[in-house]
Copies of this chain bind each other. A is one copy, B any other.
């Protein structure tokens, strides 16, 4: 399987680097999601899959992320593939001796059929992809940059429930200013017609003017609200996020906003509806009460997590040319 340098998917996943949601058109997403459904069946089936038998995928994580790491590791193994797992390579001798990222990547591409990379610095996945000439790179998150599989699993979770990605009404709450996952969700929903997203956040954590204008131009209707009583009752999904402590230098300011918006049974009873799903990219630290967890509409610890694995199974198998 030769590596393809075109970035747009255009219906062909084999050999492509997966670096950003921007590579996907609605028909690419549709194609992927058809396979994701199949992956769900394979994972639930007791019979083992040999789809990736003989394939080795390197997981190289320059920052710890237990969930994404575990999800990719399980994805490959669910399909009968194997992984080479390298965590915190910066503590490894070659990197600490001054080896460049490019050299490290070219070493690892010799051992495997694809590389999944996680890195704290934006743009690193792209750099890795440029260095590797033999195998495709999958971006598992590079700092404030992209995390395409997270974006795709969020979209799939909405699609799985509602059967479409257009003409939806949703609510995103929490840190709208910095939240990478919310930005990706907006970008993804912008690919489709007729979507409206309410944005509920403390004043300090609203979208920047630049982002608001950029996203609005793409066709999605964004409505900023600042009070829970403005939540529309016909939402198809709620996408709650954590207020990220690490973004604040003033801890008093953090304390004043961190629990401003919490999903409680009362809030859900008042503003939720029967067909709603409640999503969260995790980790959660109090912004959804645990009493909500067992509600059928709460998918953040259930299908949203499983869908992450299914999306990664499909994506890995597609870039390896096995689907």
Using a CB-CB cutoff of 8 Å, which residues 92-135 of chain A contact chain B? 92-95, 97-99, 102-104, 106-108, 110-112
Contact among B82, B99, B107, B245 with A285 in the assembled complex (CB-CB below 8 Å)? B99
Cα distance A254–B73 in the bound complex, in angstroms: 42
Give the number of chain A interface residues (Cβ < 8 Å). 57
Contact among B63, B73, B82, B102 with A84 in the assembled complex (CB-CB below 8 Å)? B73
Do A74 and B285 touch (CB < 8 A)? no
Once A84-B74, A110-B306, A305-B110 are accepted as A-B contacts, the answer to whether A94 and B56 lie under 8 Å apart by CB is no
Cα distance A71–B110 in the bound complex, in angstroms: 9
Q: Does A54 contact B (CB under 8 A)?
A: yes
Q: How far is the CB of A309 from chain B (nearest CB, A)?
A: 6
Contact among B58, B74, B84, B283 with A56 in the assembled complex (CB-CB below 8 Å)? B74
Do B82 and A56 touch (CB < 8 A)? no
| Per-residue contact bits, chain A 59-77, to B (CB 8 Å; 1 contact, 0 not) | 0000111110111011001
What residues of B have a CB within 8 angstroms of the CB of A47 in the complex?
A: 54
Cα distance A130–B65 in the bound complex, in angstroms: 24
Report, nearest first, the 5 A-B pairs whose CB atoms are least far apart: A48-B54, A99-B283, A74-B111, A98-B285, A94-B283
Cα distance A58–B92 in the bound complex, in angstroms: 19
Once A104-B66, A301-B107 are accepted as A-B contacts, the answer to whether A84 and B94 lie under 8 Å apart by CB is no
Q: How far is the CB of A167 from chain B (nearest CB, A)?
A: 30
Q: Does A275 contact B (CB under 8 A)?
A: no
What residues of B have a CB within 8 angstroms of the CB of A74 in the complex?
A: 56, 58, 84, 111-112
| Per-residue contact bits, chain A 155-183, to B (CB 8 Å; 1 contact, 0 not) | 00000000000000000000000000000
Q: Does A227 contact B (CB under 8 A)?
A: no
What are some 24 contacts across the A-B interface (CB < 8 A)?
A48-B54, A56-B77, A64-B93, A65-B94, A66-B86, A66-B93, A66-B104, A70-B111, A71-B111, A74-B112, A77-B84, A85-B85, A95-B283, A97-B242, A97-B246, A97-B285, A98-B283, A98-B285, A99-B283, A102-B290, A103-B301, A106-B301, A106-B305, A110-B302
